[in-house]
Amino acid sequence: MNPYKIYVLYYSKRASDLSQYMEGDTTKAPMEAAYYMWVVTNGEHTVAVDLGFKEDVGHRRDRPWIAPPGALYDAIKIDPKSVLHVVVTHMHWDHCGNYDMFPNARIYVQERELAFWTGANLQQWKASVEEADLVALLRLHFKGRLGLTTGIQEIVPGVKVHHVGGHTRGIQVVQAETAHGAAVVASDAVKLYRNLKENVPSPKGHDVPEMLQGYKLIRGMLAKEELLLPGHDATVMKRLPLVDDHVALAQ
């Protein structure tokens, strides 16, 4: 098996403050939140991780695109139409908008994540999802294009999902074997490097003890800190080498 590398596609950003990302922060230090999609590939197998939000949704929610996701896929010379596997880490609006970019992919989401958002909790939490995206996902389910994962599951050789929960009921992370050991695309299971490093949860999670348990699991999987890909940490683009405008590479 060829080792995997992971492209980080940086497609949107928003001015925020630290209290939105670190539980108990009182400094409210200004910070920029970044929005990413990830692509795990070894040339033979490619797994897209998360789909970003659509442009109109970004405008409505005050996060304009800084680069169109399609152009970022062009930059890494991967045609989304050729991608056969897409992992949706969780169903929050900023992670699962652009299903139509991947007409040939199987979409992997944890069964308990889908159950949460289609069950009794939707009314209370519905601001966190887009109605159109939820309906689009159910249409894919109807067509037999969902891969409903439970716990740990291999997607292609050397790439696994792990349910961690915490941030949402069914959030999953992606573990990929690189030339330097296991990398983890944590998405919002770890929003900032600091959450994991300082063992401080991010606010507004569904289950804080489960989030901290997830941090422990992720630490156990990771070969080294440079191979962690957090969900919204803008410093990813400074820590990792850039291969193009708005594209970083972990390997």
Give residues in contact with Zn ion (CB under 5 A). 94, 188
> Least distance from C-beta 51 to Zn ion, angstroms?
12
Closer to Zn ion by Cβ: residue 120 or 127 = 127
Whether the Cβ atoms of residue 236 and residue 230 lie closer than 8 Å to each other: yes
> Least distance from C-beta 99 to Zn ion, angstroms?
17
Q: Name the DSSP letter for residue 232.
A: S
Residues 6+ apart with CB under 8 A from 250: 5, 6, 8, 178, 183, 226, 227, 229, 240
Closer to Zn ion by Cβ: residue 3 or 207 = 207
What are the residues facing 138 on neighbouring strands?
A: none
> Least distance from C-beta 95 to Zn ion, angstroms?
6
The span from the CA of 157 to the CA of 148, in Å, is 18
Q: H/E element holding 173?
A: strand 172-178
Closer to Zn ion by Cβ: residue 33 or 240 = 33
Closer to Zn ion by Cβ: residue 85 or 191 = 191
> Least distance from C-beta 66 to Zn ion, angstroms?
16
Q: Is the dihedral of CA 121, 189, 162, 46 positive or negative?
A: positive
Whether the Cβ atoms of residue 141 and residue 99 lie closer than 8 Å to each other: no
> Least distance from C-beta 223 to Zn ion, angstroms?
24
Closer to Zn ion by Cβ: residue 23 or 251 = 23
